[in-house]
């Protein structure tokens, strides 16, 4: 591989990795908050992409301008899913872990079916973005503009998340609830409210990722399955519950995927990520930054 080809692989990997990190961070956040894995995370992403598509279809505006609405809608979806499904799953007295998996997995199947039934299995794409089809050339390395935009949005989102967690009352309540669910009740924090907002925030983050991805990726009912699995691998690699871990793991996953795709046939591009994941958890069972 020439130096230029390698630079191309690394640059593409970094940009995609930042988007993977953004997809995964909401999942990690919710897990850290309440020990629940949302098996419908990929379907949240799919929902966000369809919402973006629908808004563009209705308004004909540039998808970039519509991103805040997508994020707001997904915040609502997250809160409703917590209040309508997860809250009840957490009350189960028997088989708690199974109930969480299957309640959220059932929701995932339902969302996929609904997308197929109401929106047909057709592949769709958003064609009218100002960013669409444009490419930036930097010393022989070609970078598509939508991906650069996605990477920047991801960095901004992680920055914003850091500020939110460290500077606001909500962030402090979130952090306190993560650490000790029992004690926060004593100081007057409504745990249920923190969980609702936490789910809203987690879904809003994956909503942002979906809004970005919709600009340059095909939208179809199964799109969540692929990205969902990558998100679980990213979160497990970084360590469940670690926001910083999700960022680092996302970038690593992006690099490894780009390298695998350059070496092996395209159909095998996920092999590298999966092997890397197994390699890491077998040595460090809680991921790179997880608590052991």
Partner 1 sequence: MTADALSPPRTAGMLPQRRKQLLTAAFVFAAVAASPFIVRDVYLQNVLILTLLYAAVSQSWNILGGYCGQISLGHALYFGIGAYATSVLFVSYGIVPWGGMLVGGVLSAAVALLLGYPCFRLKGHYFSIATIVIAEIGLLLIHNWDFVGGALGIQWPFGSDSWWTLQFARDKVPYVHLALGLLAVTWFVTFLIEGSRWGYWWRAVKDNPEAAESLGVEIFHSKMAAAAVSAFFTAVGGSFYASFLAYIDPESVMSFRFSLLFALPAVLGGIGTLWGPFVGAAILIPLTEITRSYLGGSGSGIDLIIYGGLIMVVSLAKPEGILSLFQRKPKREVRS
Site residues for partner 1 per CB under 8 A: 31, 37, 85, 88-89, 92-99, 101-103, 105-118, 121, 221, 225, 229, 232-233, 236, 240, 265, 267-268, 270-271, 274-275, 277-278, 281-282, 285-287
- Spell out the residues 6+ positions from residue 160 whose beta carbon is closer than 8 angstroms to its own: none
Closest approach of Cβ 113 to partner 1, in Å? 3
d(CA 64, CA 228): 23
Tell me whether residue 142 or residue 218 sits nearer to partner 1 (CB atom).
Answer: 218
Tell me whether residue 95 or residue 135 sits nearer to partner 1 (CB atom).
Answer: 95
d(CA 280, CA 262): 22
Tell me whether residue 149 or residue 240 sits nearer to partner 1 (CB atom).
Answer: 240
Read off the tokens for 6: 């390698």
Closest approach of Cβ 267 to partner 1, in Å? 6
Read off the tokens for 129: 């973005």
d(CA 234, CA 57): 32
Closest approach of Cβ 240 to partner 1, in Å? 6
Q: Are 211 and 52 in contact (CB under 8 A)?
A: yes
Tell me whether residue 89 or residue 161 sits nearer to partner 1 (CB atom).
Answer: 89
d(CA 95, CA 89): 10
Tell me whether residue 86 or residue 148 sits nearer to partner 1 (CB atom).
Answer: 86
Closest approach of Cβ 270 to partner 1, in Å? 7
């Amino acid at each position: 591989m020439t130096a230029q080809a390698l630079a191309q692989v690394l640059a593409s990997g970094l940009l995609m990795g930042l988007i993977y990190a953004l997809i995964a961070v909401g999942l990690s956040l919710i897990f850290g908050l309440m020990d629940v894995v949302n098996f419908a995370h990929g379907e949240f992403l799919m929902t966000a992409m369809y919402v973006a598509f629908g808004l563009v279809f209705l308004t004909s505006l540039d998808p970039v301008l519509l991103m805040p609405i997508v994020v707001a809608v997904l915040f609502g979806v997250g809160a409703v899913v917590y209040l309508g499904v997860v809250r009840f799953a957490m009350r189960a007295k028997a088989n708690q872990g199974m109930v969480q998996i299957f309640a959220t997995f059932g929701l995932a199947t339902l969302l996929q079916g609904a997308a197929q039934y109401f929106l047909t299995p057709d592949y769709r794409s958003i064609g009218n973005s100002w960013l669409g089809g444009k490419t930036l050339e930097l010393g022989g390395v070609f970078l598509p503009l939508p991906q650069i935009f996605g990477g920047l949005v991801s960095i901004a989102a992680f920055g914003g998340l850091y500020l939110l967690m460290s500077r606001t009352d909500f962030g402090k309540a979130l952090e306190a609830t993560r650490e000790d669910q029992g004690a926060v009740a004593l100081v007057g924090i409504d745990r249920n409210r923190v969980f609702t907002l936490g789910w809203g925030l987690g879904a809003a983050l994956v909503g942002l990722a979906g809004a970005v991805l919709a600009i340059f990726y095909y939208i179809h009912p199964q799109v969540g399955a692929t990205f969902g699995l990558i998100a679980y691998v990213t979160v497990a690699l970084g360590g469940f519950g670690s926001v910083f871990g999700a960022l680092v793991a996302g970038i690593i996953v992006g690099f490894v995927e780009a390298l695998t795709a350059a070496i092996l046939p395209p159909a095998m591009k996920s092999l590298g990520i999966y092997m890397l994941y197994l390699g890491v958890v077998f040595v460090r069972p809680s991921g790179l930054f997880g608590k052991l």
